[in-house]
Structure 1
Amino acid sequence: MSANVSLIEYENTPVKVVALRKTPKIETPGFVLDEVDERKEFSVPFWVASVLVETGLAKYGEEGLTAEEWTSTHFKERFNPGGPPGALSKDFYAKAYISLTLAAKAAEGDPAKVEQLNRLHARFREIIESRVNKVTRIATTETSPQPGILQTEEQILYQSLEHIIAEWRRDLRRLGTK
């Protein structure tokens, strides 16, 4: 993943779906889905799951982050904004993408769900801002973060910031020396 977040990576996140009826083998360039029996749970990339759900062949078996995961993460990030970062659930940002994408689809034409989606976006923004602040603080300390604490996306941000800050420090520390 580059410094820019790649939606392609999120679209290829494996998700579980449940077949609503027997599905024949499906082949497209770069992807093959073997025949699936009705009510069988299986994993496919999110983009494939979206097509299967839209065509009525499957339903989502999981829909990204649960309400409990959203609440817990939001609470932890808001409760201790100045402290060190805690570990997020595995693949947090990919799951958040899936949750927000599905919530946006569900909200189309439903004012109550649009309001829920707006609250979810606000919660996500607060989590992001908290994490950015924590990653930035770590990048300024001249120490490495504990393994497993930062998500892949945060590790990329940390490395970019740490490099910029280290160069800046090195250049300024040279001032007045020969």
Structure 2
Amino acid sequence: MRIIGLDPGLRATGWGVILAEGNRLSHVAHGTIRTNPDDELAARLRTVHDALSEVLATWQPQAAAVEETFVNKNPSSTLKLGQVRGVVLLAPAQAGLPVAEYAPTVVKKAVVGTGAADKDQVHAMVKRLLPGVTVAGADASDALAVAICHAHHAASARRVLAAEAAIMRAQERAAR
């Protein structure tokens, strides 16, 4: 399954695409969408939307995962981040992708093993989990971490569904 991870930000939105085949993860592509801070908010949101739509068309992921927003002390910044997050949720939904959301602590725990990991630890583990990749920038690294988190959660969900199906089949056989 090809997964795109997204780390929303008004200045910089990170994206990272991975391929998850069973327990094997491999890097496909990553990057950062940057907006011009001198532009009006609507123009910056359109920049994110248009660039992200192009990334989705180019890399054709089958699922998307977005990091949830943490609350800033500055209400204006929080509101703007919420607006860009809405665009980041909308673009993959428009492309027909299922979109999952993960809290930053869940992403860190899935990638590093602790929800209190710092950015350097996350970056180091992304490099370890995706051998040979050189990630330019924290935003793209965070986006790849979100994709890795989704891959781990999706694999766990598939195992649970398979176990439930096996139990149902066993119960049906026993009832006959």
Q: What TM-score do you get using the length of structure 1 for normalisation?
A: 0.31
Larger Rg belongs to: 1
Q: Which has the higher contact order (CA 8 A, sep 6+)?
A: 2
Instruction: Give the number of the structure whose residues are more often strand, by fraction.
Output: 2
After TM superposition, the score normalised by the length of structure 2 is 0.31
